[in-house]
Structure 1
């Protein structure tokens, strides 16, 4: 089975390598000479954004089960949107294999990266939220980047940009369409938790049922009060809860006669846990009397036997 997936992956990657052999003005990707499962790619920053004019380079690491499993995408050029050298978290990347579709390809991943660059990171793994000025500065510096792995120079990696051409407009439109179709998985980084509120009711219910939220909700909100006030509040709450638990159900006017009889026949359950620890006492008087009688008869038999033996001894003398 593993060999079958491996052969399928090799055929698929060789086909995609032939399709992406020639660079375009927006993207280019090719596998390394000695490793078909590691690709290096170059994408141009989307126009009319903070990344306009930037040329960004990265790696795509594909599993042997490709295209049944998604690739991992890593940026190598500083860009202010994705962390350098860290796997970015997209629904089209290896972070979320449950949303991957085998019909997607490396070209789809490249267009998705271009389309997601202007979006907000919202604390997702591998995402950054730099200021527009910092991103523009990094976009200019990105043209001087040189990759030693594939020996590519960013100024020569892509074709010159021809703004207004049909191919350029089609690529930009396709990238934006992919950004709308492929959701950005905002998997929260542990160092950036609790920075946003849930967007809908389902997210709120999921957040409320999580162990982290339950631990946070148990933290008292009156930490700045004195110890006496805290003890008094806890005592009052405990007393009120006991009163609510012990209050009998007196509203029986709406119950049917059968329900009232069933309610009257119920035996209240005792909550006195100390009562269960008391020793059990035998409540059967007949058994006790029989046992006492047997003990008395045995004792009398021993006494009579003792007397008989003593008399026999005197007679012999």
Structure 2
């Protein structure tokens, strides 16, 4: 595989390093790239203990962009689990749906621990999330042990090492929970800030092509059309009697001016004729 890729590429060097680090499976997770594609990995994770997914073994794909680790991977579950949709890119703050929260220091191992840590959390309508009942999730967890990936060619329950008891299990589980908590907290803070910034109390449509003078005029018009005391938006009704009176006076003045102009032209024409006859 090494001869097929540019070994000077940061993404290739990083992925080869991670493949070597994750070569040996653990009792909680395992991931390796496909033999013919360094940028697509298959992974297996064990469901977190003391949850609806306890006893489950879940398989999936990780698709990495050429810009990795500067850009995040896409994560796809292949085993039915009741928390994430099968065959669909799931929305996590560590996945390709949210490049703004991804950190280049994170790795595929980080993604695996994040999946374990996020499984017991609520989907809250995120892309690729499911909210199955606890009974359905426990039934799928039991069924997941018999899942066999066509690409890997082996049962998932045989991929991971047997569970260990004691400090190792507690440490791995706590690490996954803490990682999910930190990522969720950071993601929630960023979303709150973005929401407060993008949703002003009084939204005003902006036109970047307008000049400063035009924008000031628009703001003045908006202030004039603010809510009236009786709760009805828009300008106050104008006095139609005043408008009609002013129009009538203007018509009278224009009529008199026109009559005076016509009279003066007639008078000058008569004077010219009189002088010519003399």
Change (3 A) 1:209 1:145: farther
1:150-200: CA deviation from partner (whole Å, max 9, x where unpaired): 334202211111222x332221111111011011868xxxxxxxxxxxxx9
Change (3 A) 1:58 1:272: farther
Q: 1:176: which partner in 2?
A: 177
Q: Pick from 248, 253, 265: which aligns with 1:295?
A: 265
Aligned to 1:182, the other structure's residue is in SS state helix
Change (3 A) 1:153 1:97: same
Aligned to 2:141, the other structure's residue is in SS state helix
Q: 2:147: which partner in 1?
A: 145
- Distance (Å, rounded) in 1 between the aligned partners of 2:194 and 2:42: 39
Output the TM-score relative to the length of structure 1: 0.64
Count of aligned pairs between the two proteins: 240
Q: 2:122: which partner in 1?
A: 120
Q: Judge which range, 291-300 or 36-45, deviates more.
A: 291-300
- Gap regions ≥5 residues in structure 1: 187-199, 212-237, 247-268, 312-317
1:133 maps to 2:103:
no
> What is the RMSD computed on CA atoms of the aligned residues?
4.0
Q: Decide which structure has the larger Cα Rg and report it.
A: 1
Deviation (angstroms), 1:26: 0.4
Change (3 A) 1:108 1:241: closer
1:35 maps to 2:28:
no
1:201-237: CA deviation from partner (whole Å, max 9, x where unpaired): 99699779699xxxxxxxxxxxxxxxxxxxxxxxxxx
Aligned to 1:126, the other structure's residue is in SS state coil
Q: Pick from 52, 55, 61: which aligns with 1:53?
A: 55
Q: Judge which range, 101-110 or 168-177, deviates more.
A: 168-177
Deviation (angstroms), 1:127: 1.3
Output the TM-score relative to the length of structure 2: 0.72
Deviation (angstroms), 1:284: 7.9
Q: Pick from 82, 107, 111: which aligns with 1:105?
A: 107
- Distance (Å, rounded) in 1 between the aligned partners of 2:247 and 2:23: 86
Change (3 A) 1:21 1:239: closer
- Distance (Å, rounded) in 1 between the aligned partners of 2:122 and 2:202: 25
- Distance (Å, rounded) in 2 between the aligned partners of 1:28 and 1:274: 84
Aligned to 2:184, the other structure's residue is in SS state coil
- Distance (Å, rounded) in 1 between the aligned partners of 2:193 and 2:112: 33
- Distance (Å, rounded) in 1 between the aligned partners of 2:115 and 2:239: 63
Matches within 5 A, 1:1-317: 7-164=9-166, 166-183=167-184, 240-241=230-231, 270=238, 275=243, 281=251, 283=253, 291-292=261-262, 294-300=264-270, 303-304=273-274
Aligned to 2:131, the other structure's residue is in SS state coil
